């Protein structure tokens, strides 16, 4: 049974996340439907590198696909794209050994969150507009608190008795890009809602509502505060999934720019 590696981009706004669910429209569900129509395979097996929540996007999700018969990769890509909705797109298809596993073989994942510093008529589904002025220097200082291995039980709804809430964050980068503040979080794996709550806490620091010392305490003892500060799904993108021998993510850039975001409009309300 041949196996293929797929690179996929999608806007998650209209979907209830990546994973197939009953009575809900999902990205994996749309892909499986398109693959069945394109190939005639009754039960193709498609496994992603990880789940994304409802409303979360991906600029390069990775999945592996098992089919009963071999298909030319470029033909497969085109035929599947012909039957997909416009907000899901297969970027690349390549044959891989059957031992390749999209989730288990990944060595790191990076997410990018886009905070808009002005209102936008065009990019609303892909940003979180924060009206308040943000102290990016303070946000960057607070981000350093999260780097390394920590217990993030205050940052997830996962049950710590069933799922380990210990996560190693490899790096957090912040960059001002005209009307956007970009936050990139890189690590080997993430627990549910971690990145969105981490960003929400950083934004609250930027607003002046939290100190770095208070942020440190969220990692020392359970707190309900990060949950109350959860950033919207709209600004979050799964940026990159890295496998052994592959380079990490490149320079941090906006996934979806805010049109007309020159300096004069930067903090426009």
- Residues involved in catalysis: 53
Which residue is it, tokens 């979907």?
Answer: 15
Distances (CA, A) of 14 to 54, 204, 234: 8, 28, 11
Alpha-carbon distance of 91 to 85, in angstroms, equals 14
Alpha-carbon distance of 121 to 106, in angstroms, equals 37
Q: SS3 breakdown of the chain: % helix, strand, coil, rounded to 5?
A: 30, 25, 45
Distances (CA, A) of 236 to 35, 49, 55, 112, 199: 26, 16, 8, 6, 10
Sequence-distant (6+) residues with CB within 8 A of 176 are 136, 182
Q: Specify the DSSP element, H or E, that contains 27.
A: helix 27-39
Alpha-carbon distance of 167 to 187, in angstroms, equals 8
Nearest to 147 by CA among 183, 98, 177: 183
Burial of 65 (0-12, 13-18, 19+ CB in 10 A): buried
């Amino acid at each position: 049974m041949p196996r293929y590696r797929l690179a996929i981009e999608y806007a998650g706004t209209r979907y209830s996340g990546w994973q197939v669910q009953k009575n809900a429209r999902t990205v994996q569900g749309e892909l499986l439907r398109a693959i069945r129509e394109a190939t005639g395979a009754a039960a193709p097996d498609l496994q992603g590198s990880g789940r994304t929540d409802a409303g979360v996007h991906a600029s390069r999700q990775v999945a592996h696909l098992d089919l009963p018969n071999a298909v030319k990769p470029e033909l497969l890509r085109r035929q599947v794209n012909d039957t997909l909705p416009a907000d899901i797109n297969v970027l690349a298809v390549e044959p891989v050994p059957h031992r390749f596993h999209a989730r288990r073989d990944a060595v790191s994942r990076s997410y990018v969150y886009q905070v808009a510093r002005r209102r936008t008529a065009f990019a609303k589904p892909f940003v979180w507009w924060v009206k308040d002025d943000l102290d990016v220097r303070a946000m960057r200082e607070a981000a350093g608190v999260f780097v390394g291995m920590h217990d993030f039980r205050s940052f997830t709804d996962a049950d710590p008795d069933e799922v380990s809430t210990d996560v190693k964050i490899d790096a957090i980068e912040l960059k001002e890009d005209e009307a956007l503040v970009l936050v990139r979080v890189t690590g080997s794996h993430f627990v549910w809602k971690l990145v969105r709550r981490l960003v929400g806490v950083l934004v609250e620091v930027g607003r002046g509502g939290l100190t770095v010392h208070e942020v440190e305490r969220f990692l020392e003892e359970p707190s309900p505060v990060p949950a109350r500060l959860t950033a919207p799904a709209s600004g979050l993108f799964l940026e990159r999934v890295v496998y052994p021998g592959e380079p990490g993510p490149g320079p941090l850039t906006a996934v979806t720019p805010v049109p007309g975001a020159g300096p004069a409009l930067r903090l426009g309300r």
